[in-house]
Amino acid sequence: MGKRKGGSKSLASFTEKSRYSNGYLAADATVYGADNAEVDVAEERAESSNLVDPPEVEALVGSDKTSADYYFDSYSHFGIHEEMLKDVVRTKTYQNVIYQNAFIFKNKVVLDVGAGTGILSLFCAKAGAKHVYAVECSLMADMAKEIVQANGFSDVITVLKGKIEEIDLPVTHVDVIISEWMGYFLLFENMLNTVLYARDKWLINDGIVLPDKTSLYLTAIEDAEYKEDKIEFWNNVYSFDMSCIKKQAMMEPLVDTVDQNQIVTNCLLLKTMDISRMVSGDVSFTVPFKLVAERNDFIHALVAYFDVAFTKCHKLMGFSTGPRSKYTHWKQTVLYLEDVLTICEGEALVGSMSVEPNKKNPRDVDIILKYSLNGRRCQVSRTQCYKMR
Ligand code: SAH
């Protein structure tokens, strides 16, 4: 799923720059399987990106659209799909999962939840699916229909334009559900509930959901320079005090790449979700954490990221969006702390993180962080609220 920060709201965000360039869309991007053997996927990228011809798409989709339309539905614009397709860690993992595990798809009825350009449906059709229903609510559904036709899969793939929650599927049951629903901080945009809805409505009893496991992680980083640039900046703007904006800036988790050298503590598994069993209420949770310093340093922020796993394959497959892994368009999510913590090796930052969809707009995520450090150099106890929107 796309979702640059604010991606559903502003096209300006498409040009957002990372502070640490990993060589955007790392030409040498790799994916891992159970053996963690890295697979070179550089040459495959060109293959994927050929599926969409941006200027043509713009001409067809964009002709009668204004920026006001895109403001509410960035998925109608090809830019966000281009970004996702060019994320080779993401797209190549799905392709490997599907092509290398054809037994899951052969002669099966597949539902692609949020099909976008139809890329996952095309993979499934190529792997031998009996029929694929590609459901997409944005205008990109029209493009997906053309793409399916242009590639000769019209008899296998049916593109349905509409919301999963509102469409009539021509069949009562499907054998497999595939989806790329993950948002920033895993849960931003809350598309997971759409997948769970589809699972409960159409998936046969022993059916398969892909991916079926996802895990959220937390770590702490030193980030003096960037915190200064993003937060303290507002204290003195051309000699004017704009510090009232600082509060808002602090409350918004920042989606950006973190260098692994910034990591000060262990990386902690916060929460694992089993997509084949969980219920929608499970997207709200409170979990405790204990982050132990691996060196003497300052802590300016906590950082969250996630892994995705396909456990029903011959061998475990998946990818990580963590700072120690190859770049993905999800980057990491940085939560700045009010205080600069001074932590000594072996000391622990303890607390809890609560996550829940915003009550007014369930696509947004509210995060409450409680933390305390009782160290030699620093004693702090605080609660901070963040809003991903
Ligand atoms: N499967 C594509 C696109 C993933 S992005 C790929 O892997 O490249 C997720 C897509 O889901 C977006 O195109 C978005 O418009 C669509 N979507 C989100 N919520 C939906 C819903 N409730 N019903 C149908 N489509 C949805």
Which atom of ligand 1 sits closest to the CA of residue 163? 23
356: CA distance to ligand 1 center in Å? 21
189 in active site = yes
Q: Are 343 and 371 in contact (CB under 8 A)?
A: no
pLDDT of the residue at 74: 85
Query: Is 213-388 assigned to CATH 2.70.160.11?
Result: yes
pLDDT of the residue at 50: 25
pTM listed for this prediction:
0.85
115: CA distance to ligand 1 center in Å? 5
pLDDT of the residue at 203: 98
Q: Residue 111 in 3-state DSSP?
A: strand
CA 221 to chain centre: 21
Q: Are 99 and 91 in contact (CB under 8 A)?
A: no
Q: What is the CATH number of domain 67-180?
A: 3.40.50.150
167: CA distance to ligand 1 center in Å? 14
Q: Are 112 and 135 in contact (CB under 8 A)?
A: yes
Which atom of ligand 1 sits closest to the CA of residue 81? 8
pLDDT in tens, 243-291: 999 999 999 999 999 999 999 999 999 999 999 999 999 999 999 999 9
136 in active site = no
Phi, psi of 144 (to 5 degrees): -60, -40
Q: Which residue has the tokens 């008899």?
A: 155
Letter string b/e over residues 276-288, b meaning 16 or more CB atoms within 10 A of that residue's CB: beeebeebeeeee
- Alpha-carbon distance of 153 to 119, in angstroms, equals 12
Nearest-CA residue for ligand 1 atom 26 is 114
Q: Which residues pair with 319 in a beta bridge?
A: 308
Q: How many Cα neighbours within 13 Å face the side chain of 91?
A: 29
Enumerate the H helices of the chain as residue ranges.
Answer: 42-49, 54-62, 67-72, 78-86, 88-99, 119-126, 140-150, 192-202, 224-230, 244-251
pLDDT of the residue at 16: 35
Work out the angle between the directed axes of helices 119-126 and 140-150 (0-180°, nearest 10): 30
Nearest-CA residue for ligand 1 atom 16 is 114
- Alpha-carbon distance of 146 to 148, in angstroms, equals 5
Q: Would you list the domain boundaries of the chain?
A: 67-180, 213-388
Taking only the tens of pLDDT, the chain with its 389 residues reads 533 333 332 222 333 333 333 222 222 333 343 333 333 333 333 333 222 333 443 444 445 665 555 554 889 899 999 999 999 999 999 999 999 999 999 999 999 999 999 999 999 999 999 999 999 999 999 999 999 999 999 999 999 999 999 999 999 999 999 999 999 999 998 899 999 999 999 999 999 999 999 999 999 999 999 999 999 999 999 999 999 999 999 999 999 999 999 999 999 999 999 999 999 999 999 999 999 999 999 999 999 999 999 999 999 999 999 999 999 999 999 999 999 999 999 999 999 999 999 999 988 999 999 999 999 999 999 999 999 98
191: CA distance to ligand 1 center in Å? 8
Nearest-CA residue for ligand 1 atom 23 is 163
Q: Are 97 and 63 in contact (CB under 8 A)?
A: no
Locate the DSSP E strands across the chain. Answer: 30-33, 38-40, 109-113, 131-136, 157-161, 174-179, 203-210, 213-221, 254-256, 268-274, 285-292, 297-310, 317-320, 332-343, 348-357, 365-374, 379-388
Letter string b/e over residues 357-372, b meaning 16 or more CB atoms within 10 A of that residue's CB: beeeeebbbbbebbbe
Nearest-CA residue for ligand 1 atom 14 is 114
| Surface-to-core class of residue 63, CB atoms within 10 Å of its CB (0-12 exposed, 13-18 middle, 19+ buried) | exposed
Residue ranges lining ligand 1, Cβ < 6 Å = 1-2, 75, 81, 84, 114-117, 119-120, 135-138, 140, 163-165, 180, 191, 194
pLDDT of the residue at 24: 26
- Alpha-carbon distance of 215 to 24, in angstroms, equals 25
Nearest-CA residue for ligand 1 atom 4 is 1
Q: Are 302 and 219 in contact (CB under 8 A)?
A: yes
- Alpha-carbon distance of 165 to 145, in angstroms, equals 20
136: CA distance to ligand 1 center in Å? 6
Which residue among 83, 180, 222, 347 is the active-site one?
A: 180
| Other Cβ atoms closer than 10 A to 261 | 10
Which residue among 38, 82, 83, 189 is the active-site one?
A: 189
Q: Are 139 and 158 in contact (CB under 8 A)?
A: no
| Surface-to-core class of residue 185, CB atoms within 10 Å of its CB (0-12 exposed, 13-18 middle, 19+ buried) | buried
- Alpha-carbon distance of 137 to 112, in angstroms, equals 12
